[in-house]
Structure 1
Amino acid sequence: MSPVKLTLRCPSKIGQVTVDPDPDFSFDDLRVELHSLEEKLNKSTMPFKKTCSRDFPVTKTLKRSFKPFIMGVYEDELKEIFNDEVVREPSSNANRFNCDGIFLSDSEDSDNDSTPEAQAYLKEDMDLVESSLAELTHDHMLNIKEEIRNQLGRLETDLTTLNEKSSAAISQIEKYYEARREADRRLDTQYQREIAEGLDKYLTTVQHHHEQISQREERKIRSDAAFEEAKRKEKAILEDKKRQEKLKAEAEAKAKAEEAMKAAIEAERRATKEAAEREAAENLKKVNNVQVQETMVGSLTTKPVNSVGQPKGTTSDETFVSKSPDSMVRASKSALALERERLQQLKEVEEGNQALRLSPNKDFNTYERHIARLIKQIGGTKENVRTKTSEILKIFMAPLCPQTISIAAFAKKIVSQCESPHDAFALSHVIVLVTSQAPSALVLVLAELHRACIYTVPKHIQYSAAAFGSKESYYKTIGFREVDGKMESVEDYLMRLEAYVKLYGALIQTEIPGVRNLHGLEEGWAWLARFLNAIPPNLFTAASLNAFLKVAGFAMYRKYKSQFRKLLNIISNNFLSALRGKGNANLNHIILDIETYLEDRRFLEEPEGKTLVGGSLLSSDAFPEPEHAQEYYRHSSNSYY
């Protein structure tokens, strides 16, 4: 059955809707146009009634057809629908609808005036159009799907072909890459082999060259070594001769220094013995005279005591006043004699040590620094004192360091150590332990004390404008120091002065079981008597007396009892009265301090730090080893002070 072309049997425009029997659009355009037509019909006042929805599925065509819209129907159906009103055109195989029987007016009045028959007829025609459009849409969809399947098939074929080509190309590329990599590997192996061969040849050449150089250097070194050996032997012979000469000179200097020290110690011992005999003879003459004069303390004994510790008699130690144009010195003659002898011995030792230091290849600074370090580490415990004493005595016995060097360093460092805040009793214990084994060290320690502080003699130098010219010159003479071009303050000087006197007071009262103190309480009694007999009261002498009483007053009272109380009465009645008479405000605090000491009877209280804490000081570690004792005492003096 051939399709027929339909011709609308109605006007070309109904209301606002234009009828085009031969449209030129795609299915999507048809769908959009139908929706637009529905909207326009719904807005129209014509009584059209929608029977069914025209929602067609949205499909996209691959391309837009420009052929005229042709609806094909069967002739049987056309006869039943249009009742012989179909017009066949010989030029087309399709039948066209003829809508001439339907009259549509462009005006709104024609819509209102239409009859029910015309509306029914129009509805029937619209249903036929929709069914035709649905069938057309179905066919069009089938065509589109077929075309899509065809295109998908072609695309699949193209993709398969492309994949095969790509796989073949990739396979060729991999083969090419593998071939190139194999070629590069062969080239690298060959190149590395050539490099290794070249390097081996180069290293062989260099090694051969180095062997030749080493042989030449070895021959040269052997030749130089033989020459240096001959030269060294010659130099060693010369140095051996020089060393023997130096050792001989050092031995002579050392022997001379030791002989001078022994002579000085012997002279001091004889002088001391003579002074003691002379004082003992004077005491026998004045044994019944035990009263203390009010103006002088010359009747007090300087040294002799009986077995129970009480003064045995009195003596008149004459006060020495130098009236030379250079100075005015006030001190007892015996004190000045002892000071002079001790300083002379110190001077001789220092000169001998200076001669030893001039020897080349002799460095004694290490021993001196070691001694200084040990002294700085001295503490207020018995274990510490015992350990430091043992180490110091070992340095004294060192064969490479002359004993005069180590003893002089010990005396200087231990005296200077008391300037810093330090335990005077710990230092005095070390002094007693060391000097009990090396008696010559005590002379140097006392000489260093006298040189650092004149009030440890005791001695006082009065100011005289004619003698000194200026106060600064006088201050330097009595022991003031110059710091940064300026004279130190009086407060700093008093602090150092008290430190020296406290060390001296701690030394004379230090008692160690089994160890003899060569400068004990008898010397402290002598110092106090000489002080009150010869030293005038002023700021410096008052500070010295106050420091001595605080440290040594307890031990002095415990030994001399009532005789010491007589000295305290003289201090209260004479010395303090003289201080008050000066009217110096700077003396008030010292006067008050001494008065408090006397009134509160502080001499009955043991001073803080007098008794060291810890174990015993009788340990053998504090003294030289037995195997070294004989050699040590051979170098030490057999006498003591």
Structure 2
Amino acid sequence: MLELRCPPSVEGIAVNPQPDWSFDSLISELNSLEKKLNASSTFPLPFNKTRSRGFSDAKGNESSSRAFVMRVLDEDMPDAESDVGEEDHDRSLAALAGRRFTCGDLCMSDSEDSEDELTHGGQCHLMKKAGLVEGALSEITHEHQLSVTEEIRNEILALESKLMSENEKFASAQAHIEKYIEARQEMERKFDLQYQRIIAEELDNHLTAVQRDREHRSQIEEKRIRDDAAHEEAKRKQKAVEKAQQEAEEARRQAEKKLAEEAKRAALAADRRAEEVAKEKERAAAAALVARQEATVESKGVQPHTSKEVNPPEKNVAHNIYNAALRLLLSSVNWHFDVGNILKGAESALKLEERRLQTYMEMVRKNEELGVGSSKDYRNHGMQIARRIKTITGTKESVRTKAGELIQIMKSPCPQSISIAMFAEKVVSQCSNPTGSFNNAVYAYCHVIVLVTSQVPTAMEIVLAELNRVCIYTVPKYYSQSGFETKDAYYKAIGYQEEDGKIESPDSYVARLSSYMKLYGALVQTEVEGVQNYHGIKEGWAWLARFLNILPANLYTANALQAFLEMAGFALYRRYKSQFRKLLNIIYRDFLNALRAASRERGDSRLNKVITSIQSYIESNQFLNEPKGRRLQSSLLSHQFVPESDYQEQYYSPSHRYY
């Protein structure tokens, strides 16, 4: 039997106190109630179930949203099965949330006492009437939720489809990009290959142009050398004519002098004859006197006392020869002085200079006998040596090649003395007109000198003799101006050049002097592996000690010292360390103070400049830094960009290695 737990009346609708309904009749009754409610509603909306207010669920804790709760009383079923059935009903009723009504629990029983229990027990309510607004709102909310859910589902589907489409597009784009990258890489490889070909062609053209330019310069240099040779030949001829005139004049003077000397000798002969006659008479008288004395002694029986005559000591022939040669050398510049008063220099250095000068003069006489200057072959030989020296660069390849060529020239059929003299002259002449790159090239020149002189040792003596001849400070030695009659004579003695009857300016002389000293300083510090330098760092150390001990401080000696330290200071410090620092302290304390005193006395700005340079060199420890150009380069920069080995072979000429 169906038991309704609801109030007896809801909104004026009464419930039969003793219902005897079947399930179908209950459904039909509910449908009729729904129609009535819809007819009486002001909203044209179907009736929607709402959660009843004030009704509790089967447990009595919260309101139920279930349409019906039907309870079937069965005495034969145990409580556990009843509980399970109740839970199954709850789940079933929860699934029927779309029904139109919400009712409390219904209890159905077959016992006849159910009517009494319904009459006397608590009243059960079928449903609580919901408000129209609440129903409409609930319906709108439900439809909104459905629509939102549908929209979300549609959006999700759209997003999924869009995501799949984007993934497909991304995969397609990625494949396209990979193909594009492969195409670009292939194109870049082709471009790189093309660029390498272009670079190789350009480099080939550049090297060809460089080679052509070098050949052109070489031709220009040869032409200039030929012109210089022609000019020198013209000057030589002019000098020969002048010399012939001078010889004729000298012959005339000698003839006159000879006549005068003959007359003088005749007078002297007459005087000597008169003296001899007088001496003969004296000897005769003395002999008579001696005879008388001997006779007297013999008569007395006394032996005569004999005496031995002692010859005077012989003079130092070598010393006389050296003084005569020195007087002959000084007479060429009209020096009239006592050598010991104005010439200052260490005795050992002067002896070395004398030895070099003697070797040099012997070679000059030998070359004059061979006819140097009068033969065209000799002039061409000199031009070949000059061309190779002028084209020396600061690379190992250039130094090795030029040194090998010069050694082959010296071993050629041409007399070696001529080759050595020309080599020394051409090397030293590079200092006559120094350019901006002279400081870098001077080390390369010295490497070539060391390599050549290691094979031809005599060449080192001639090079040093040539340096001593053109620059007295390479000895080192010094001449006092007070011993000369004129300033021009003094200037010529210390190395000033004369052109068109005029002495060069002090600035030009100082620049040339510095170049000679740079060449000398670079030479003494040059070290080539496996090759002996016959005038190495020990000679440089000795030169510096002699310089500071003997030479005074003036403009010329200061510039010579600065140039020498600039070239050789780094190597001297590496070899002698603290001893070299002591010499620098002496320079800083004594030499610079003497220069400052001379500068204050004369007011010469050039002295202030060289004082500042030497002071800065010592204070900033520039001797710790390796000079630029001292270390030869491995190769030219253009050689590093040649892509193929055959390009290198095109511009490489094999030569003998000498280090």
Q: Same fold (TM over 0.5)?
A: no
- Structure number with bigger Rg: 1
TM-score range, shorter chain: 0.3 to 0.5
Q: What is the TM-score normalised by the length of structure 1?
A: 0.45
Q: What is the TM-score normalised by the length of structure 2?
A: 0.44
Work out which structure has the larger RCO, using CA pairs closer than 8 Å and 6 or more positions apart in sequence: 1
